[in-house]
Amino acid sequence: MKRSVTGAGIPAAIGPYSPAIAVGDELYCSGQLGLHPETGALADGVAAQAEQAVINLGALLAAAGYGYNDIVKTTIFLVDLADFAIVNEIYGRAFTQPYPARSTIQVAALPKGGLVEIEAIAKRGGATG
């Protein structure tokens, strides 16, 4: 059985999808942009968007009863791969070893003109057991 996850501090979906779907002990998080949950506006610049995307991901995890240490896989989408080092440094603050598996992909464009988007898959006890 699957259930949609949403909650306070999570930006509203900008299309016909759930912010996350919980199935058993797994959580599939849709990509999080650097949107401010209260206004729906993008943060200014790639660093601020990356920081907000990580915060939004954390709020989504918390709403489902998970934490960053439960994430087993992430995908980062960047409009400009030259921003990799900036985003990598911000992303790295949220995680401890063992780090999740990760892919980083340059894309032509992101919704709402975003510069970075982060999606994740989490499993209860993912990184610790």
The 10s digit of each residue's pLDDT in 7-58 is 888 998 989 999 999 999 999 999 999 999 999 999 999 999 999 999 999 9
Residues 22, 50: Cα–Cα separation, whole Å: 24
Q: Parallel, antiparallel, or unpaired: how do β-strands 101-106 and 71-78 relate?
A: parallel
Going from N- to C-terminal start, the domains of the chain cover 2-123
Which CATH superfamily hosts domain 2-123?
A: RutC-like (3.30.1330.40)
- Pick from 96, 101, 103: nearest CA to 81: 103
pLDDT in tens, 44-81: 999 999 999 999 999 999 999 999 999 999 999 999 99
pLDDT in tens, 67-122: 999 999 999 999 999 999 999 999 999 999 999 999 999 999 999 999 999 999 99
